[in-house]
Amino acid sequence: MSTACHVYTGTAGHSAWFSEDAGLTWVHPNSHSGMYLEARVWSFASHPALPDLLYAGTDMGIFRWSEASARWTPLPSPMQDVWAIAIHPSDPNTLVAGTRPAAFYRSRDGGDTWQALDLPGLPSFSTINMGATRATQILFDPVKPKCLWVTVEIGGIFFSADGGDTWQARDQGLVSADVHGIALLDRPDGRRVMLATTNRGLHRSDDEGQQWHFQKIDSPWQYTRAVVPRADGTGTVFLTNGNGPPGDQGRLWVSHDHGDHWENVTLPGKLNSTVWTVATQADDPLRLWACTNLGQIFSSQDGGAHWERLPHEFGEIRALHWRRLPIGIRQQEHAVTRRVEN
């Protein structure tokens, strides 16, 4: 069956944009498709077992996209401003979502109903920025999927060994509780490396997050945003960096040895802001996309050795996701879109 690379961009104020040709042209589903045209889209999640569905966390709650009907459906829940969402790797009906102010919820029926999770000590307000804290990442352990990690800006790192029933803080040694992302990397010898990003730099743990150590990178700025292992288990991991949110300069880093050493990645052209995130998928791990906070998008077809800058530029990007879908899955007569050609 023929497939196409579908890429999804979540923006801060211009809803979600779709590309069905690897980012050359973009479709902006209008409000008649079920999501407000000026929504803020903070996160995406999908599962290969359910190719028809895509979940989005927005400032208006959680939405579920049906590829066949080309429609968004808002999901009733106690959540409003949803900043992070993740799907259990072996059970696509189990989802965990995080909000602003920071709180976490679990669904066991594909998002139809939600249960609040109890994270002792989770702050909802920060005196550092005089504002609400927010969920930044939710990560199921790919080896032990009952183990669950969440990061909070500004609130630290929390861990659950039972799928979210009970939690404990895992922030010992962090130089900042303003945590943006987390990654798990398993070495061939069985040792595990954990990496976490903060506003004041990269951190590393070699004992399952019991103790964190600051790991300085060779950059004029230590602000780090996303840390994303390439989805082939080889130990290649990408780190996004810049001079703040959104900043006006950025860098992408890569490590080929589980985060021991880092190299600067050359992205074409002048970067307009902090590099924000990298999108990767296990079924085609050498296909990658990366973006800056202020709208530039780059793609690589060789695992990150070479990058191409895509022609379309967005306003402010907060989420980037991609997957392969069968050509013709959508019922085109139902699509209500506005297309941007490049």
C-alpha gyration radius of the chain: 19
CATH code of the domain in which 322 resides? 2.130.10.10
The pLDDT of residue 341: 43
Mean pLDDT for all residues in the chain: 94
Region of poorest pLDDT, from 3-7, 27-31, 131-135, 302-306: 27-31
pLDDT at 334: 43
pLDDT tens track for 175-195: 999 999 999 999 999 999 999
- Residue 332, pLDDT above cutoff 80: no
pLDDT at 287 over 90: yes
**pTM metric for this prediction:** 0.95
CB under 8 A, 24+ apart: contacts of 268-272: 268/298, 268/307, 268/308, 268/309, 269/296, 269/309, 271/242, 271/296, 272/248, 272/296
Structural domain including 166 reads 3-340
Res 58: pLDDT: 98
Whether the pLDDT of residue 336 is over 70: the answer is no
The predicted pLDDT at position 299 comes to 98
Does pLDDT of 59 surpass 70?
yes
15 vs 30, which has greater pLDDT?
A: 15
Q: Is residue 335 over pLDDT 70?
A: no
The predicted pLDDT at position 232 comes to 96
pLDDT tens digit sequence for 249-273: 999 999 999 999 999 999 999 999 9
Number of folded domains that form the chain: 1
Give yes or no for residue 323 having a pLDDT over 50.
Answer: yes
Q: What would the mean pLDDT of 29-50 be, rounded to a whole number?
A: 94
- What confidence category does residue 329 fall into, taking pLDDT thresholds of 50, 70 and 90? low
pLDDT in tens, 105-158: 999 999 999 999 999 999 998 877 778 999 999 999 999 999 999 999 999 999
The rounded distance, in Å, linking the Cα atoms of 324 and 86 is 18
CA distance 284 to 144: 22
The mean per-residue pLDDT over the stretch 45-57 comes to 96
Looking up tokens 């999927």 gives 145
Cα 36 from chain centroid (whole Å): 21
How many Å apart are CA 123 and CA 178, to the nearest integer?
12
